[in-house]
Amino acid sequence: MAKAAEAAQTKLVAPKTKAGKRLMEKRAAKLVEDPKRALLVYGNKTSQIIKDAMTDLHKLKGEDAVKFSRNNPEMRPFEGGGEAALELHCSRNNCSLFALGTHQKKRPHNLLLGRLYDFRLYDMVEFGIRQYKSVQAFGGGAAQAQLGNKPCFVFVGDTFESDPTMRQVKSLLLDYFRGRQVDSINLKGLDRVIFVTQHPESKLVLFRQYSVRYKKSGTRIPRMELSEMGPSLDLEVRRSRQPPVDLEKEACKQPKLDKKKEKNVGSDMLDGKVGHIYMPPQDMDSVALAKPKGLKRERRKAAAGAAVAKKQRTSGGAAAAAAAGDGDSD
């Protein structure tokens, strides 16, 4: 009876192209993950401040961000079922962070930062931008800081431990800006500092970013000089959603990492990282070279001449044979 009931069939769907297969392998789950990609979208209505803020966030993320240009009125993560569109676009673009910018009378200059786990909504915090100064407003300070480098973080305040929402804010900002997970870092590349604190009276989250200049000091450790490079945000914390407990437990599980021996990688004092490329032996006499296009006509004529000569030889031979045959018959 059970066998008769098994009419629902399953089939294996494999990628049809090699490029598609490579893409899927790139997006697969890994032990040590790639930096989280961010999806930046606008909601139903936007304001100029929100647009500028999103542009800055997009630039700060560099390659790891996707920004949509249109308004998306159907994206309402705080409503039940309103996160479906967001989850869909994030899974299509392989993004696990999102920033949704909207502007309403009730919630002006609203910036919703959130995360996804396994492309399902994990948590989010809603900020209202009270004061904003873009990177461009600070002049050329940003030119000193290179984009691919990891920023340093400075958090000040005891609320980042005591208040669960502020703990979430700290975790979110760290996740958004931290970049790739690395084992070692070039000390020359410490050129950005992100400073976050909470104003004790107004409860605004103050977000500042500085670029670093190294100055001489008498010791091995140089003196750091900071100059503000932007963006400068004063954020009011509005709504937030904590992650579901079971999802949080699963997402925060860390894998056991063993040092994997990489093959064919060595390092040289002069060259740096080296590897070997193994080639099969090539026969230089019969290697296929590119044909020079300039000599096309000559080649064509030569080929035609050779064909004619060949024909003459065979027909001449046949004629000679025929003549001999006739001669014989005669």
Site for another protein in 163-202 (CB under 8 A): 171, 174-175, 178, 181-190, 193, 195, 197-201
Closest separation in Å from C-beta 21 to another protein = 5
Give 164 or 200: the residue with its C-beta nearer to another protein: 200
Give 71 or 163: the residue with its C-beta nearer to another protein: 163
Task: Please report which helix (H) or strand (E) contains residue 125, including its range.
Answer: strand 120-133
What residues are paired with 205 via a beta bridge? 198, 235
Closest separation in Å from C-beta 192 to another protein = 10
Pairing of strands 232-241, 120-133: antiparallel
Q: How far apart are CA 101 and CA 114, in angstroms?
A: 12
Given 51, 74, 158, 320, the residue binding another protein (CB under 8 A):
158
Nearest to 102 by CA among 40, 144, 152: 40
Over the window 134 to 153, marking each residue x when it contacts another protein by CB under 8 A and - when it does not, the resulting string is: ----------------xxxx
Closest separation in Å from C-beta 83 to another protein = 16
Please tell me the count of residues contacting another protein according to CB under 8 A: 88
Q: Which two tokens stand for residue 311?
A: 């024909």
Q: How far apart are CA 14 and CA 20, in angstroms?
A: 9
Closest separation in Å from C-beta 99 to another protein = 15
Does residue 279 bind another protein (CB under 8 A)?
no
> CB neighbours (10 Å) of residue 247?
15
Given 10, 69, 264, 282, the residue binding another protein (CB under 8 A):
10
DSSP conformational letter for 37: P
User: 100 near 86, Cβ under 8 Å?
Assistant: yes
Closest separation in Å from C-beta 23 to another protein = 9
